Structures are given as structure tokens and as C-alpha cells.
Amino acid sequence: MNRSDQMSKSTFRSTLCKLAGAAALLALSSTAAMAAHIPSFGFSSTSFTINPGAVGVAGCGGATCTATFIDFSYAAEVDQFAQPGDTATFDETGGGFFGTFRNTLGGPPVAGTGLGVSYQLYFVFEATGATSPNGPGIDGAFSTFNYRMYVDKNMDTVLSTVTVGGVDESIARIALFGDDEEVLNGSLIPGFGGFHIFGGLVAGDFNVIATANRVGNFFGGAAFAGASAQADINGVNTAIAGIPGGDPFAAATDITIIGSGNTSFQPVPEPASLALFGLALAGLAFSRRGKKA
């Protein structure tokens, strides 16, 4: 890769870092909106700790910091495949950078974490799903969603960019990630993830509830005190480009999305509670319930 190519690729990372500061305000509206996406999902965001020293970076005074939310900004690309009856299926790849730890949505940043000073925290994901009409907009449901979260010790990892309508490109790690350490991974809890694209097809919101599997000891605390945990990944899409204008369910390559939001965690509920959780959603379609504020 020559210098001009690397600078072009680095634009993805720098743009996301600039967006991270806005994530807290977006998170306030996105969290309220998500309750309509997955009826009665009952997620209870629980405090967690981070231990930068566990991966060999500075932060938290050599001990741990406590937070409840992590703001992020991200970009994604979608390849869409037309299906009968004004519907489509899709493949999606994406990734982004976390900007701030907080204890309350919109509250002050947790001080001294070292994030953005001695390390970066980022994620990449792959997803599949299907879309269908919802008035002037579109509803989507994920059938798979797999993610990995990394600490970038040298703060130099490069994620690829894509061109709208391009030649089936993907967003992935492409350079300077040899020093990175995986700290978390997970996959969609079936039936608990989707999105809306608003009328005009240029913005939307999303929500995914997934498993949260620790790798090492960067994450800890109450949310991870049990054998396993869950993640609530939600936010708003501030820019969507490349959806076919004449037929939004027509085949398309590299529809692009830019957005931001927040992630939180909870311990896996007790088996009895989880069973009731599933019964509450039995027979319910993934769709909007009432007009969003």
C-alpha cells in the first residue's frame, strides 16, 4: 500500500473518531427508540469494569474504572439481494471506534480510562438478514450478527473503506493491527436484532442484543460476574447512501451507512426469567410499535 492509499484508508478511522463526540447525544434518543424495536426485551444495563493493565496499556491509575455505557461511531456496507414481494435479503460488514465510557447516557465521561490516550477500543462485525416495507420506510431483521472487539495498543489500526455501489467491497481490518488484542466477542441472540430506515431512506436506527464473551480480563465487574453476559448495541444511522431510488428492494452493492450509538451489558438472566422473556415475544413480529419521538 502506498502512502496516498494508506491516507485514504485512514480517513475512515479519523472520520469515526470525530463522530465519537456526538455519540452521547445520539445515544439518548436511540435508546428510547430501541424499546419499540424489540418489544419487552427488558434489557437492564449493568455496570462493568475495565482493566487497561490487563492488556498492557495505561489507564485507570493501574487499577480498574467503572462504567455502564460505551459510546461508539461506526460505518458499514450492505450488499442487497432482491426477493419476491418487495422484500430483500442482505449481507453486511462494518466496524467502528469507541469514544467514551459513561455511567449514565449523556452524562460526563468516566475520567482516567486511558481511552484515546494510551489505546483505542474498536469493533468489527458481519451480519445477514432481510428487509421489508414499512410505510415510506423499511424494516429490517438480522438473522446473524457476529462481532469482535479489540484494544489497539498503538492507536494505528486501519479499517477499509468502501465506495457506494462499488465492486462488492467489505469493511475489515487491513493494516497495523498486529499489536491489537481481542477483548470481547459475541453473536446475535436469535430474534433480537433489527433496524428501521426512515422515510426518505437516508437515516434510521438499529438495535442488536447479542452474547458478550470476555477474552482475557479487560472487561469485568457486575455485568460479567456470571458465567456469561449479553450486550445491547444500539444507536442511530445518520447517513445512508446507495439504496436504489426506484425500487429500494432491488439488488445493490455497497450501500453505505454511517452512524453512532452506545453499548451496554447485563449478566445473563436466570433460566426462569429468560423463559418468560422468550414467551413475552412469542408470536410478535419485529416491527415499529407506535410513532417515534
State the distance between the two ends of the chain, measured CA to CA, in whole angstroms.
46
CA angle 102, 14, 233 (to 5 degrees): 40
Query: To which residue does cell 438499529 refer?
Result: 206
pLDDT at 281: 44
Q: Give the type of residue at 66.
A: T
Q: Position of cell 475512515?
A: 12
Closest C-alpha to 158, from 2, 12, 5: 12
Percentage of residues in the chain with pLDDT exceeding 70?
77
Write phi, then psi, for 127 (nearest 5 degrees). Answer: -150, 160
Contact at 8 Å (CB) between 256 and 288?
no
Closest CA to 7 of 116, 164, 158: 158
Output DSSP code: residue 223. G
So what's the pLDDT on residue 189? 94
Nearest to 179 by CA among 251, 119, 138: 119
Nearest to 141 by CA among 288, 278, 32, 21: 288
In whole angstroms, what is the distance from residue 222 CA to residue 185 CA?
18
The two counts, helices (H) then strands (E), for the chain are: 3, 13
Question: Model-level pTM?
Answer: 0.81
Q: Which residues pair with 146 in a beta bridge?
A: 126, 187
Beta bridge partners of 81: 89
State the pLDDT at residue 160.
79
**Among 77, 94, 80, CA closest to 244:** 80
pLDDT at 169: 82
Distance CA 48, CA 66 (A): 6
Instruction: Give the model confidence (pLDDT) of 90-104 as tens digits.
Output: 999 999 999 999 999
What are 149-208's pLDDT values in tens digits? 999 999 888 887 888 887 888 887 877 788 899 999 999 999 999 999 998 999 999 999
Smallest Cα–Cα separation from 90: which of 290, 232, 230, 240?
Answer: 240
Per-residue confidence (pLDDT) for residue 33, from 0 to 100: 37
Q: Which parts of the chain have pLDDT scores under 50? A: 1-37, 39-40, 272-293
CA 272 to chain centroid: 28
